Amino acid sequence: MFTGIITAAGTLREIQPIGEGHDMRLVIGVAPEFLAGAQLGCSIACSGICLTAVELNGDSFAVDASAETLARTTMGTWRQGGRINLERSLKLGDELGGHLVSGHVDAVAEVISAAPENASVRWRFRVPAELAKLIAVKGSIAIDGVSLTVNEVDAESFGVNIIPHTNAVTSFGTLQPGDGVNIEIDTLARYVARLLEFRA
CATH number at residue 71: 2.40.30.20
* pLDDT, the chain, mean: 93
Q: Determine the pLDDT at residue 9.
A: 96
With helix as H, strand as E and coil as C, how does 88-112 read? ECCCCCCCCCCCCECCCCCEEEEEE
Q: Is residue 99 part of a domain?
A: no
Task: Give the pLDDT mean for 17-45.
Answer: 94
The domain boundary residue, chosen from 22, 55, 88 = 88
Kindly report the pTM of this predicted structure.
0.93
User: Once rounded to an integer, what is the mean pLDDT over residues 36-65?
Assistant: 97
> Where is the domain boundary, 54, 88, 122?
88
If asked whether residues 123 and 60 sit together in one domain, one would say no
pLDDT at 190 > cutoff 80: no
Residue 3 covered by a domain: no
What total number of domains does the chain contain? 2
Domain ranges, residue 28: 8-88
User: What is the DSSP code (8-state) at residue 2?
Assistant: B
Amino acid at 158: F
Q: Which of 60, 88, 116 is the last residue of a domain?
A: 88
User: 180: which residues sit within 8 A by CB, 6+ positions away?
Assistant: 74, 77, 108, 109, 110, 111
Taking only the tens place, the pLDDT of each residue in 127-181 is 999 899 899 999 999 999 999 999 999 999 999 999 999 999 999 999 999 999 9
Does 167 map to a domain? yes
Is residue 1 in some structural domain? Answer: no
